């Protein structure tokens, strides 16, 4: 492991932040007791995250829709992006709740 100054060796968290493992694309899903964190990373490296209740289904599909909207309505500071994003999230919520 590399020496990063007088502080000595890096701890595990520093290593994960600074020295990604070769072939690792990063976090895709983090499951905690009170929430799940899903991540979608585009080919350009842009990452999209959603935090939801544990066990919520179809978040990968929602993140891909968000990415499609992002690419279609760039720059992101656009009213049409906001409207379509709200509709995509609402549509996903309706599908999940069966309403």
Do residues 47 and 55 touch, judged by C-beta distance below 8 A?
no
Report the candidate in 52, 67, 36 with the shortest Cα–Cα distance to residue 97.
52
Within a domain: 1:
no
Q: In tens digits, what is the pLDDT along the chain, a chain of 99 residues?
A: 445 455 566 676 666 666 656 667 678 999 999 999 999 998 888 899 999 999 999 999 999 999 998 888 776 677 888 888 888 888 876 666 665
Number of folded domains in the chain? 1
Do residues 49 and 39 touch, judged by C-beta distance below 8 A?
yes
H-helix or E-strand containing 37?
strand 36-41
Within a domain: 21:
no
Within a domain: 13:
no
Within a domain: 12:
no
Within a domain: 66:
yes
Domain that holds residue 51: 26-97
Report the candidate in 87, 51, 52, 54 with the shortest Cα–Cα distance to residue 68.
87
Within a domain: 4:
no
CATH number at 51 reads 3.30.450.70
């Amino acid at each position: 492991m590399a020496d990063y100054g007088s502080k000595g060796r890096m701890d595990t968290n520093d290593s994960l932040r600074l020295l990604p493992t070769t072939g690792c694309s990063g976090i895709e899903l983090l499951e905690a007791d009170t929430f799940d964190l899903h991540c979608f990373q585009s080919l350009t490296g842009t990452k999209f995250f959603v935090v939801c209740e544990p066990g919520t289904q179809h978040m990968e599909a929602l993140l891909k829709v968000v990415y499609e909207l992002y690419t279609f309505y760039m720059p992101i500071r656009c009213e049409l992006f906001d409207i379509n994003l709200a509709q995509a999230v609402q549509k996903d919520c309706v599908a999940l709740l069966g309403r």
